[in-house]
Amino acid sequence: MRISTLSPHSSRDLNAAAAPLIRVSEVTKQFRLDDGREIQALRDMSVELGQSEFVALLGPSGCGKSTILRLVASLESPTSGLVEVNGRPPAELAKQHRLGVAFQDHALLPWLDVAANIALPFKVAGLPVDEKQVSELIRLVGLAGFERARPKQLSGGMRQRVAIARALILTPDVLLLDEPFGALDAVTRRQMNIELQRIWSEQRITTLLVTHAVDEALFLADRIIVLSGRPGRVIRTLDVPFARPRHADIMRSEAFHRLCDELTDALETPVEQTI
Amino acid sequence: MRISTLSPHSSRDLNAAAAPLIRVSEVTKQFRLDDGREIQALRDMSVELGQSEFVALLGPSGCGKSTILRLVASLESPTSGLVEVNGRPPAELAKQHRLGVAFQDHALLPWLDVAANIALPFKVAGLPVDEKQVSELIRLVGLAGFERARPKQLSGGMRQRVAIARALILTPDVLLLDEPFGALDAVTRRQMNIELQRIWSEQRITTLLVTHAVDEALFLADRIIVLSGRPGRVIRTLDVPFARPRHADIMRSEAFHRLCDELTDALETPVEQTI
Amino acid sequence: QTPAKVRVQIGWIPNVQYAGEWISLERNLFAKHGVSVEWYPGGPNALPAPVVLAAGKADLGYSTWFPLLDAVAKGNDLVMIAAVFPKNPLGIISLAKKPILKPQDLVGAKVLAQGPNEKTAIDATLSLAGLPVQWTQVPAGFSPEPLLAGEGDGYTAFGVNQTITLEQMGLKWGKDFHFVSFDELGFRTYGAVLMTTRAYLEQNRPAVIGYLRGIIQGWQENDKDPAVAARLATEKFGADFGLELKQQIRQNELQIPLTRYDEQGKLRLALDREVMSGPMYAAARATGRTNLPDVDKLADFTVVPEAHQGL
Amino acid sequence: MSELQPLEGTGVRRNAVGSLLASLKSLWGILVIVLLWEFWVTASQLNTIVMPRPLDVVSDIATAPGIYFASMAQTLLLAMAGLTLGMFVGTALAILTWLSRILAGLLTPLGLIFASVPVVALIPVLARIFGYDIRTVLAIVVIISFFPAFVFTSAGLRALPLGSDDLFRVLGASTFRRLWFLAIPAAVPEWAVALRLAAANSILAAMVAEFLMGTSGLGHLFHAARADLDMSRALGASAIATVISVVSFLAASGFEKKVRQNWS
Amino acid sequence: MSAMPSERMRTTLLGALGIGIFLCLWEVVGQLRLLGLSWPPLTEVLALLSNPARWGLFGRALAASLEALTVGYLIGLVCGIIAATLAHLTPSLKPGLDRTSAFIHAIPSIALAPLFILFLGRNATPAALAALSVFFVIYVATSSGLGSVPRPLQDLVQVLGGTRLTQFIRLDLPAALPVLASGMRLAAPAALIGVIVGEWFGAPRGLGVLVINAMQNFQIPLLWSAVLLAVLVSLTLFGLLGLLQHYVARRFR
Ligand SMILES: Nc1ncnc2c1ncn2[C@@H]1O[C@H](COP(=O)(O)OP(=O)(O)OP(=O)(O)O)[C@@H](O)[C@H]1O
Ligand SMILES: Nc1ncnc2c1ncn2[C@@H]1O[C@H](COP(=O)(O)OP(=O)(O)OP(=O)(O)O)[C@@H](O)[C@H]1O
Ligand SMILES: [Mg+2]
Ligand SMILES: [Mg+2]
């Protein structure tokens, strides 16, 4: 199923770690507000992800990061331009249950408890629930003991961790993570980063991660894309030079700090901000 | 209205920058899950905030930080122990419209647009809406042009900024902020920090801030309280030594980095984590 | 002198059944006799006149005769003063292949009957005839179809209504179908009994007399041309009830003989003490009503003759 | 009404008084209505053929419990059967229209027609189709119950928790699984509202239908008693219908409350 | 979920097709007398309805029923909202009001109608029964809507120091509007049923009067015409209120 064709015309083949699995090309996305005004969320945006590549998106609030993820997840369609996964419309990926997504707003089902929320993708895919894997993931995100708790009985960070576990449960082919660790304290976040790194190294899931933490992006990603303020455009692309597997220690290295500063500077480019 | 009595028996008077305005003393809070199990969110927790003091709460996910805020906001009542504001039950503060709160989940009214959501506290207090102040705050949180947009048309970070503006609009006596900048990128977050600092310096609102960012806590707070994992207890209290007004430059200082590391170490104390 | 106002609760919808009223109203006959009439429609589920009288919401009222007996038994001081239909049009329709013409024909029959009143009538008819009360009730509505479909041998109906439906369907009376009234089967009742409270009658006798004179003249006029009252009912007084002129004319034709007390057709509206105390009381007893008042207490036999005298 | 509050505070001490007052707290409205009734009948000296007193009605029920019970059992049974069937058909139709655009297009307007038909106007027609007996009564109750089930379930199937629709799309949920794991659970609270409305109405609809054509049941008891001007019995039948209707309404309310707690 | 114009068109077409099939079936069943004389062909009913000689009759009946419907609906709506609001704002009254409204609703209309005829009058009875049905539906819908505010939003207004009244105006009411709109929609047929039953018990005119008398006199086309008119009235109201419901749901959810 994972055949991907290498496009000879792509200008980004060099950046891609492998043949592009996900292609967002020349996409513009406009939204209309109630008062009739158009918001341009993305303008001529192009991003490509190769097979098994881990790409992080950085950018100011409201620049269209979530919109890119939603385009790849086929939850939005572009106003103009093309989104493809494996040369096919992105909706097919979802239909084959090969997509794992953690939304910015968690989207837990209020009537299911933690274990059932995490097991939901199995049920939706019509697969038998792998109870062992569910409890393994619950342990991994530090929610052991809360299997029977319902979303409203969890803290903000705990809910987010349920959403992460749910995104991982089916070992998807493509993983889309929208600020998955935003509500976590630094320590828990670090643990989660390390776990995600481990899982990724084992399964090499093609991953698109939206994050606000530069160090997180550097620690996890193969490539980092920095977006401008709205309308979002790519203003900087960085191939992360650290070899894998990466140990948490690299975060203390000189090179790491230098790249951190570099990206932070890139993010601080004055923002256009038109509606 | 701001008479506060100094309790001679309080053991924390020395820490408090002024007479305790908010007193959480020996509070234990238990929740019951559906399966009948008890969760102890807080155990024998005591916190005091003096008049015009800015206190930051740090602690692992699920340790009870939001619960403390909800107790002070009189949204929960303690299983045992006492919560007082100005020597009176905390509900009175809310009744007098002297409380500003930004919740972790934003809690925007879906049927109101940005401007109306921010103006809501005026309406609830039965005051005429100060349109100038509303648009001033919209500008301050970087949402100019989105006055008429409704919450579902905003990005995650934009929603959070609406919630912050709403918490500030009435220039309250007490401000409770639950990870108000969690969904913001580093740059926007820094801007917001600086703005909050400025507002606080002008109005000296007694503030309790929950955050996961150690640097944010150090930059903003007079005092930082570090909590243990669940059940939450105070494991470390730090009086922040930086003079006010603080400039963003202090974040690059040696002392700042040292305190940062110190707090991070404190946070990394192994966690008990019983349910 | 202003005419006395009389409030009348009629017992059914305002159709040609009240031909006397309509003609009298149309030709101002009531006014001539010093009364002004305000009437209220009845209908399938409307309150029976005794209840409306008991509540003081009308002065005169028409109903069948059993509700009057029941109301009196429950302590209402009501008086019966006239009967528009000395012969009750309620009866049984049957088809030629198995006609029901005498009480014996009812034994073991399947009869399509609408409600509790019809059931009581058949039970009482059989017991009055000294026959075993053996028959089957088949619940039915107001369509003759089940009868035609053979779901029952007989169908309780009004001789002035459902018979017309059958005629309109092309069936011939006496050939394709038969009708026999309960009166003919021995179960005697009056139809459209006029009643009032004793107190009203005592205090407003002239008004009651005036009203009676009005309808007597109205009914007399009706004899001349059945179409007049039918047209009045369809187009004026019952215009909101969707009546059909042809049907109303036919109904009027059929009902006129029933308003006559004898073959000469003279003594309209008058009550007959002998009939009441005899067969009608027997019929009432057969329905299980035991505690019957004295006839002279129940009815005032002097009002109608007094009305006739002045004409 | 306002004097009930202070009383309540003092009454808590003694258990019996306390529970009496607790039930007063929810029953005062009914009590007021019954007292007004009694007072009004006494004051205006109405004859029993117009309006009996509450006590007449109660004593009539007490003297002929057998008749009442038989009628009640019949009506209750019919109402329950009709309710079950109607809720089932309404829910099924709502689900069908959710499942298929084509069916939705074809069936929604028809569902709306049926839902908006003043059913009582159809009684004569239905009676012809189903016969003058309990089958028509059953059909009426089915249609009456169908209505809220269809309307509320349709709405509930679309009232999804924030973001959950997106979630199911990225999980690649088949239509059937989206229905089973998302839409149906999400519709349960609204479905419970439908049940609440329909439960109360089913008894009343059965009663009206029996009144017009039945040969048994509370509606018929009412009809027959009214024909005999026996208003105590007629109102007795109504009172029984009222009580079972209220009880089924309250039972359904309890169910809805429970559902709401567990569903948010 | 955005409905494209073409998609909306398709739904409309399908809907028209569905209704068309239904009407054809009606005609066929009627023509072939599959359900007997009581089910006339559609064309026969339409012929009666379009007969100008009958327009006066139908017009007066329609006007009477519509007037009773409007009056009853508005009274029931206002009373229902007021009662639900009262119950919501004064929790000590709520259990009592809940029971009372359930109780009033549970009194069979066939028992109430005769009393109303006597003591409210023949003209007011249909409206009164309609008001009762509407009251109940609106009461249930409004109280369940008022209680449907998500917890976080309640918390918000509480910490802003909102009184019960502000919470009601700013939060409960807007949140209740979608459910209230569903209730209003549901109440339209309920109101019409109230009117028709009310008219059965001796009203001077109205669609219900036509229905019951046509039934008694076996005037089948007339019966169906009256039923059809009633359905049209109900469907129109249902449709219009459906638009309202749609708008409110989009605006307040
Ligand atoms: N449904 C919508 N209707 C109208 N505008 C929308 C809609 N969704 C997003 N937008 C607009 O598109 C822009 C980009 O939104 P998006 O959610 O992609 O931002 P983001 O980069 O994820 O921001 P954040 O970091 O704050 O989550 C924003 O200006 C937002 O207002
Ligand atoms: N309503 C509730 N019912 C049951 N348990 C609850 C409830 N609210 C909170 N808890 C539990 O109380 C504990 C503390 O929750 P709280 O929301 O205060 O954490 P927190 O410190 O804010 O965490 P985070 O940083 O993840 O937001 C958690 O274990 C949570 O499961
Ligand atoms: Mg986003
Ligand atoms: Mg929290």
E116-170: pLDDT as tens digits: 988 888 889 999 999 999 999 899 889 888 887 888 888 888 777 778 888 888 8
Looking at the CA of A159, name the nearest ligand.
Answer: 2
Of A122, A137, A171, at which residue does a domain stop? A171
Please answer whether residues C266 and C86 qualify as being in contact, where contact means their C-beta atoms are separated by less than 8 angstroms.
Answer: no
- B254 and B194 inside one domain: yes
Please answer whether residues C92 and C100 qualify as being in contact, where contact means their C-beta atoms are separated by less than 8 angstroms.
Answer: yes
- A60 and A79 inside one domain: yes
* Ligand 1 in reach of A273 Cβ (< 6 A): no
- B181 and B264 inside one domain: yes
φ/ψ of B46, rounded to 5, equals: -130, 130
Predicted TM-score (pTM) of the model is 0.82
- How many domains would you assign to chain B? 2
Residue to probe by mutation, ligand 1, list B114, B147, B153, most atoms within 8 Å of CB: B153
pLDDT of E5 reads 53
What average pLDDT does this structure show over B43-68?
A: 92
- A183 and A53 inside one domain: yes
- D23 and D151 inside one domain: no
Q: What are the chain C neighbours of D137 within 8 Å (beta carbons)?
A: none
Is the pLDDT reported for residue B6 higher than 70? no
Where along chain E do its domains lie? Answer: 41-47+55-252
- A45 and A179 inside one domain: yes
Bridge partners of B82?
B25
In a mutational test of the E interface, the residue from C47, C162, C243 whose CB has the highest number of chain E CBs within 10 Å is: C47
* Ligand 1 in reach of A230 Cβ (< 6 A): yes
Which of A93, A97, A111 is opposite residue D185, by nearest beta carbon?
A111
Percent with pLDDT over 90 in chain E: 21
**Domain encompassing residue D37:** 13-45
- D123 and D32 inside one domain: no
B159 Cα–ligand 3 center, Å: 10
- B87 and B50 inside one domain: yes
- Can you say how many angstroms the Cα of residue B129 is from the centroid of all Cα atoms in its chain? 25
B75 Cα–ligand 4 center, Å: 14
What average pLDDT does this structure show over A36-62?
A: 91
Of A171, A195, A225, at which residue does a domain stop? A171
Residue B27 domain flag: no
> Strand A234-239 vs strand A223-227: parallel, antiparallel, or unpaired?
antiparallel
Residue A18 domain flag: no
* Ligand 1 in reach of A75 Cβ (< 6 A): no
Candidates A235, A194, A230, A236; CA nearest to A215 is: A194
Burial class (CB in 10 A: 0-12, 13-18, 19+), B221: buried
Residue A76 domain flag: yes
Q: Tell which A residues from 66 to 95 touch D, by Cβ distance under 8 Å.
A: 70, 73-75, 93-95
What average pLDDT does this structure show over B93-113?
A: 88
With CB atoms and an 8 Å threshold, state whether A106 touches D171: no
* Ligand 2 in reach of B231 Cβ (< 6 A): no
The enclosing H or E element of D75 equals: helix D65-99
Of D45, D67, D85, at which residue does a domain stop? D45
Decide: helix, strand or coil at residue C39: strand
Residue D142 domain flag: yes
- B76 and B180 inside one domain: yes
Query: What is the residue-averaged pLDDT of chain A?
Result: 86
Is the pLDDT reported for residue E3 higher than 50? no
- A86 and A220 inside one domain: yes
Is the pLDDT reported for residue E249 higher than 80? no
The residue of chain D with its CA nearest to that of E142 is D193
- B58 and B156 inside one domain: no
A153 Cα–ligand 2 center, Å: 7
With CB atoms and an 8 Å threshold, state whether A148 touches B212: no
pLDDT of D193 reads 83
Q: What ipTM was reported for this prediction?
A: 0.79
- D222 and D239 inside one domain: yes
pLDDT of B271 reads 52
Domain containing residue A216: CATH number: 3.40.50.300
Bond from prior residue into A245 cis (ω within 30 degrees of 0): yes
- D127 and D34 inside one domain: no
Q: What are the chain E neighbours of B107 within 8 Å (beta carbons)?
A: 152-153, 155-156
B181-197: pLDDT as tens digits: 988 888 888 888 998 99
- B194 and B114 inside one domain: no
**Residues E161, E66: Cα–Cα separation, whole Å:** 46
Q: Is D169 on the interface with C (CB under 8 A)?
A: no
The enclosing H or E element of C217 equals: helix C205-224
* Ligand 1 in reach of A209 Cβ (< 6 A): no
> Strand C90-95 vs strand C177-181: parallel, antiparallel, or unpaired?
antiparallel
The enclosing H or E element of C118 equals: helix C116-128
Please answer whether residues C210 and C28 qualify as being in contact, where contact means their C-beta atoms are separated by less than 8 angstroms.
Answer: no
Residue B46 domain flag: yes
CB neighbours of residue C246 within 10 Å: 13
Q: What are the chain D neighbours of C67 within 8 Å (beta carbons)?
A: 227, 229
Q: Is D170 on the interface with A (CB under 8 A)?
A: yes
Domain containing residue D72: CATH number: 1.10.3720.10
Q: What are the chain B neighbours of E171 within 8 Å (beta carbons)?
A: 109
**Domain encompassing residue B135:** 109-171
Task: Give DSSP secondary structure letters for chain A.
Answer: ----PPPTT-TTTTTSSSSEEEEEEEEEEEEE-TTS-EEEEEEEEEEEEETT-EEEEE--TTSSHHHHHHHHTTSS--SEEEEEETTB-THHHHHTT-EEEE-TT----TTS-HHHHHHHHHHHHTPPP-HHHHHHHHHHTT-TT-TT--GGGS-HHHHHHHHHHHHHTT--SEEEEESTTTTS-HHHHHHHHHHHHHHHHHH--EEEEE-S-HHHHHHH-SEEEEEPSSSB-EEEEEE----SSPPGGGGGSHHHHHHHHHHHHHHTSPP----
Please give, rounded to a whole number of angstroms, the shortest distance from the CA of A14 to a CA of chain D: 29
Phi-psi bin for A42: left (phi > 0), alpha (psi -120 to 50), beta? beta
Instruction: For residue B68, give the ligand 2 atom closest to its CA.
Output: 18
Residue B84 domain flag: yes
Q: What are the chain D neighbours of A74 within 8 Å (beta carbons)?
A: 169-170
Q: What is the mean pLDDT of each run of 10 residues along chain C (311 residues)?
A: 88 91 94 93 87 92 91 90 90 92 91 84 92 87 81 89 89 92 91 93 94 92 92 92 92 89 69 89 91 91 88 77
- D65 and D151 inside one domain: yes
Of B117, B136, B171, at which residue does a domain stop? B171
Please give, rounded to a whole number of angstroms, the shortest distance from the CA of B166 to a CA of chain E: 10
B40 Cα–ligand 2 center, Å: 9
Candidates C78, C73, C42, C74; CA nearest to C59 is: C78
**Residues C245, C242: Cα–Cα separation, whole Å:** 10
Query: What is the residue-averaged pLDDT of chain C?
Result: 89
Residue B24 domain flag: no
Candidates C192, C204, C198, C222; CA nearest to C34 is: C204
The residue of chain D with its CA nearest to that of A106 is D163
- D30 and D102 inside one domain: no
Percent with pLDDT over 70 in chain A: 91
Atom 16 in ligand 1: residue holding the nearest Cα: A64
Residue D5 domain flag: no
pLDDT of A10 reads 37
pLDDT of A19 reads 63
- A261 and A161 inside one domain: no
**Residues B177, C184: Cα–Cα separation, whole Å:** 95
Tell me which of A97-111, A137-151, B62-76, D113-127 is least confident.
D113-127
Higher pLDDT, C133 or E239: C133
Residue B65 domain flag: yes
Is the pLDDT reported for residue A194 higher than 70? yes
Q: Which amino acid is at A27?
A: V
pLDDT of C266 reads 65
Higher pLDDT, D30 or C9: C9
Q: Which fold has domain E41-47+55-252?
A: MetI-like fold (1.10.3720)
- B77 and B213 inside one domain: yes
> Strand B38-50 vs strand B20-32: parallel, antiparallel, or unpaired?
antiparallel
The pLDDT confidence band at residue B222, using thresholds 50, 70 and 90, is very high
- How many domains would you assign to chain D? 2
A176 Cα–ligand 3 center, Å: 12
